[in-house]
Structures are given as C-alpha cells and as structure tokens.
Structure 1
Amino acid sequence: MPILSLPMYDIDHASTRRLTATLTTLLAQRDVQADVEWHDDLLPHWRDDNLLLSQTCGYPLAELLPEVQLVGAFHSVAPGCKDLRYRSWLVVRGEEAHRTLADFYDRRAVCNSADSHSGYNALRYVIAPLAVQGRFFRETLFSGSHRASLTALREQQADIAAIDCITWALLRRYAPQALAGLEIIGETPLCAALPLITSRKTDALLMEKLRSVLFELTMDDKYRPLLDACLIGGFAVPQRSFFDEVKKWEAQAAAYGVTRL
C-alpha cells in the first residue's frame, strides 16, 4: 500500500492527523489508496519505494535523496515566511536577549541534526563570516528535534540555536510552554521551503493526481480552517533547482573555512 506521512511539522498531532485524513480522502476520490504512517527514522522512510507523499527538508533533498521526485511545496503563513520561503530564528535564553550573534563566539550551540537546513546549515551560514580559523562555537550539541533544542537551551545545556520559524509559530500556538524563557535575537535569510516528495516509482498519472489533491486542498475554502490550524497558505510546484539554494549556503560557509558547526 502506498505510504503517506507529514512528519516535519507535527507539533499539534490532532491537526496533522486531520490534514493527512483529508489528503487520503481526496486521494480516494481519485481512486488512489494510501496508508498514513508515522516514522522516527526518516531517511529510510523518504527512500521507500512505496512512498506516495511525505515532507522532507531541503538539505536532505539536495544532498541525500537524488532518487525521489519533487511534488511541490506548501506556502506557510507563519511569521518569518514569504511565498515559498522560510527562515530560522536565532534563539537564546531570555537573560541573554540583549546580545548579538557575534557575542556567542566560543559558546555552545544546539541543533536538531546535521542534515537539517533550518537548524544546522542555516546556522553555519550566518556564523561563517564571524568564525576564526574555521571555528565559531566551542561545541555543538545534537538534540534530535527543534523542540528538544529549545529544552536544551532552557536547561542551560547550550546557549543558542537556529529554530525553524514555522516550528516556532506552531509551538507558540499549541505548546507555548516550550518557548518559555526564550527569546529571538536574530534571523537567518529566507530560503526555499520544505519540499513535498514522492517515490521515484510514482508515475506521471499518479503525480498529476497528487498535485491535483494538493491544489484542491489549498484552494477550496471549505478546507481553510484546517489549513489555518497548520499555518498553510497555499501550494506550488517550483523547479527542483529551487532547492539547490541550500547547497549554495553550504559552499559559502566553506569559502570562509567553516565546514561544520
């Protein structure tokens, strides 16, 4: 059975389940059946030949998933987003809200994972001009998720993190306690939004049905309350090269001698 999953912004699981249920209903109307699954180990999930629809990060798409096909991307209405682009907020504990990014030289960073654009690649990009001999942070902790990175900040295990602005907005709405005691001191530039993907084995007709479902979802007013709950404003189909921007950020950091956090 084809697999459908939306793992990247599952902050309010009830909203995410309503979204995936709506997608499976719209697909069934086009004679396409799909099972909704939830995965913690995402790379094998994204590489599964049975994958009908999932969401990944632009960095894995560009670097680790050459075989998957691009379906498109959601336009988010979260603060910090514009069109098909999003950014990360630079987040610290409240008592350090008066500081700038440069003040965190030789301090401790935390990020969700090394294959994350918003948590790792974007942070590396903005610290690169400030680095000394290829180094800026004293150490970098890997937390496993943006939410866990925020916990690490609050518990003083690290001092600064780059947090996806959509994740931040969803947490503010559904779990504001996760942001307690934390403040934004800066931002990264805008970059390509998270791509929606499908298996290399998805044929042209099935791809057409997938995109038809996503356009209907985002253009029919009856789904607006659901989309508002998920901060989704629209859907578009950019060229795959749109997501190559993440590699340019990596290359520009390397030009400063910074290849890792």
Structure 2
Amino acid sequence: MFASLPMYDRPENRAAHDALWDGVRGALGFGPEALDRETDHVEGWGRDDLLLGQICNLPYRAQFRDNVTRIACSDYGLTDTPAGYYHSVFVVRAEDAPRGLAPATLGRFAYNDALSHSGWGGPLARVTEQGLQFHTTLHTGAHIDSMKAVVDGRADLAAIDAVTWRMLQSWEPRSAELRVIGRTGLSPGMTFITAKTIDPAPIKAALNTAIAELSPEHAQTLGVRGIVELADSAYDLPIPKAP
C-alpha cells in the first residue's frame, strides 16, 4: 500500500508529517511504514494501492473525481475561513502594494500550475469577477517559486495558498519583501483521499485520532486542527481555462 502527504511537505515539517502518518498507521493497525516522498504526486493520486493521499480540489474536480474516494478536507484554522475551506492571498512587492490588485494584473502573473486551484483557478475566478484579466503569465512549478519570481522582479503578482503563505512567512525570510493585497474566494481545502476500492471510514477515524494525539510541537508545526467532511456539491466549481 501507498501513503503520501506531499502538498504541504517541507524539510521544516517533515518530522511532524511523519508523526501524523505514524499516528494514522497506528490507529489503523496497518499501512506502509513510512510516507512515500519519491513518487510524483499526480502519479500517486492515480495509484490503485493508494491508502492515504492529499489532493487540491482542482485536479480532483478535473481528473480524479470518479477515480478516488474522498475522505475529508483538512482544517488548518485559517482566519475568516470556515473549517474545511481555504483561500489564496495575492502578493506583490512591498513598494507595489499601494497600487492595489487592478494595476498588478497588468504586469506578469506567476502561477505554480494550471491544475492548481490556489495558484491559478481561484485567482482567475477572483480577477474575472472584478472585470480584470491576467495579461501575461509565468509558469513557475511551485508556490515558493512564484513567491521568488515576484521578489526577484521576474513577475509582479502571484496568488499563494494561504496555508503555504503561512509557512513561507515562518520559514522563508524573503517573504517579508512581499505584501498581501487581497484574497481569492473560498473553496474546499486540501482533501484527504484514498483509492476508489478502499473504505474511507476507518481512515477518517484514524486521521481524527492521529491529529488529536499529535504532540503540541508537531501540531503547531503543521497547523492542522482537524478534518471536515464537505458535501459533494462543495466541489461543483467550474474548471478554469488554462493560461
């Protein structure tokens, strides 16, 4: 069997993620000894032996909705955000913050991936609602690379998953050179999934137990407070056009 939690995994929280998986495995009574950090995350979502994974809502909606089983959404305790949901923040260089979002969209928008709701789908929906558009885009491959692109002047605007932004503020000193100038709408947060043929109920119970039993240090590092099972209709969002 296969387990992976790649979406927020960093060197600084690796031990905490390992502790979370140890708790899940202990509560289940079975599972791989360690999280897989070698398999590409998209490949992992499609594996028939996926015991536990975590997926962004856009690739779930666009490609995996009929091929995996949803367990629950993660709750990271984001400010002014209902449990189980998340949003992204728009960031620009500090000197550009007073100009606001509309002028920033005239520059180059850095996005991590066209199948990222936090980096592309959510921000596209927000600027479209305001009658704006991204005039030029830069594909970076990761939120941290979008942040660096804005800091370095290769881009003028990026949208960063609010959970990732919280981590970047803690562990990436150059994030201090950026300012938040807005946020996207709400959507289902990172969603725990398992393979289509696996019963999600025992895994959901094990996740609840493991999160509750994390040490205070690991709980603070991850920031995860619990899991929330959202209605299927929460994922009925349009698929955005690619950049």
- Shift in CA distance, 112/230, structure 1 to aligned 2, threshold 3 Å: same
Q: Is the 8 A contact 1:126 1:188 kept in 2?
A: yes
Aligned partner of 1:61: which letter? Y
In structure 2, what is the Cα distance between the partners aligned to 1:104 and 1:110? 11
- Residue 41 of structure 1, CA deviation: 2.6
Alignment of 1:1-261 (within 5 A): 2-11=1-10, 13-34=11-32, 35-39=34-38, 41-65=40-64, 66-79=66-79, 81-131=81-131, 136-173=133-170, 175-202=171-198, 204=199, 207-220=200-213, 223-245=215-237, 247=238, 250=240, 259-261=241-243
Distance 1:164 1:18 in 2: 20
Letter aligned with residue 7 of structure 1: P
| 8 Å contact from structure 2 (residues 23, 210) kept in 1 | no
* Post-superposition offset of 1:143: 0.4
Q: Deviations over 1:73-118 (max 9, x none)?
A: 1111244543111111110011101012111243210000000001
Q: Secondary structure at the match of 2:226?
A: strand
C-alpha distance in structure 1 between counterparts of 2:112 and 2:20, whole Å? 29
5+ unaligned residues in a row in structure 2: which ranges?
A: none
**Matched residues, number:** 241
Identical-pair percentage: 26
RMSD: 2.1
- Per-residue CA deviations over 1:156-176 (Å, capped at 9, x if unaligned) read 111101111100111212x13
Find the residue that maps to 1:198 and give its secondary structure.
Answer: strand
* 1:180 CA displacement: 2.9
- Report if the CA contact (8 A) 1:5-1:20 is conserved: no
Cα separation, 2, equivalents of 1:181 and 1:148: 14
- Equivalent AA in structure 2 for residue 191 of structure 1: S
Q: Is the 8 A contact 1:89 1:187 kept in 2?
A: yes
- Equivalent residue letter for 2:164: T
Maintained 8 Å contact 2:75/2:225: yes
Give distance in 2, aligned partners of 1:88 and 1:80.
Answer: 12
Equivalents in 1 of 2:141, 2:23: separation in Å?
32
Q: What TM-score, normalized by structure 1, do the two folds share?
A: 0.84
Contact kept in structure 2, 1:3 and 1:53, CA below 8 Å: yes
Contact 1:109 1:161 in 2 (8 A): yes
In the superposition, the TM-score normalised over structure 2's length comes to 0.90
Query: Please, which runs of 5 or more residues in structure 1 have no aligned partner?
Result: 251-258
Q: Please state how far the C-alpha of 1:29 moved relative to its aligned partner.
A: 4.7
